[in-house]
Amino acid sequence: MAEALDPAVPKRVDDLAQSVLKAACDQELKLAAAESCTGGLLASLLTDIPGLSHAFERGFVTYTDEAKQEMLGVPSHILADHGAVSEACARAMAEGALAHSRADVAVSITGFAEGAPGQPAGLVHFACASNGEETRHRLVRCGEVGRAEVRLRALETALDMMCDQLTDHSRASAA
C-alpha cells in the first residue's frame, strides 16, 4: 500500500502501481515518467511503495512548454504545430524521458485537467516508450469530472500502459 498517498489513491490504482513495480523488479527493468497535468503524482506514487520503489529510475515534471523542451528535448515545432496536449507531444515526451534517463520503459502524461476556451476538460494524451519498441499512444476523454478525478484517471491509464508494456516485454524475453 502506498503510504503517503493513502487514502487519496483508490485501491485499484494502488494495486496497479504495485503490479507495475513488481513486474519491473522481476524483469530488472527501470521506469521513468514524464508528467504535465499530473504534476508528479505518478512519480510520487511509484516511489511510495515499500520494497518495490527501486524500479523507478526518475521522473520529469514538465508543466510548461519550456520544461518539455529543456528537460525532455521535445522539439519546438511539435509544440508549435500540434500543441502541448497532443499525440505528437505525448510521444516526444515519453521518448525524451527514455533518452534522458537510464530507464527501460517511460510513460508520459499531458492533458487538460480543467476546461478553458479551446481546451476540453479531461482531454489527456499518454504515450509509453520502451527501448527497441514502437512508442504507444492512448487518448482519454474524461470530460468535466473535476481536476482531481482527471488526475486519478490519468494515473490509472499511465500505469495500465506501463503494465501492458512490461507484459509484452516479458513475453518477448521468454520467446
- DSSP state letter for 134: P
Picking from 38, 61, 62, 43, the residue whose alpha carbon sits closest to that of residue 152 is: 38
pLDDT band at 5 (very low <50, low <70, confident <90, very high): low
Work out how many domains the chain is built from and give that number.
Answer: 1
Higher pLDDT, 2 or 150: 150
Q: What is the pTM of this model?
A: 0.94
133 Cβ contact list (under 8 Å, min separation 6): 165, 168, 169
pLDDT, mean of residues 64-93: 98
107 Cβ contact list (under 8 Å, min separation 6): 31, 32, 33, 34, 42, 94, 97, 126, 127, 128, 129, 158, 161, 162
Assigned domain for 3 exists? no
Assigned domain for 137 exists? yes
Assigned domain for 163 exists? yes
Assigned domain for 2 exists? no
Give tens-digit pLDDT for 131-145: 889 999 999 999 999
Assigned domain for 1 exists? no
pLDDT, mean of residues 137-157: 95
Domain enclosing residue 90, as ranges: 11-174
**What DSSP assignment string belongs to 69-94?**
HHHH---HHHHHHH-SSSHHHHHHHH
How high is the pLDDT of residue 124? 98
**Alpha-carbon span 74 to 81, nearest angstrom:** 12
Query: What is the average pLDDT value for the chain, to the nearest integer?
Result: 93
Picking from 159, 127, 166, 163, the residue whose alpha carbon sits closest to that of residue 10 is: 159
For cell 527493468, name the residue: 29
| CATH code assigned at 47 | 3.90.950.20
pLDDT band at 38 (very low <50, low <70, confident <90, very high): very high
Assigned domain for 5 exists? no
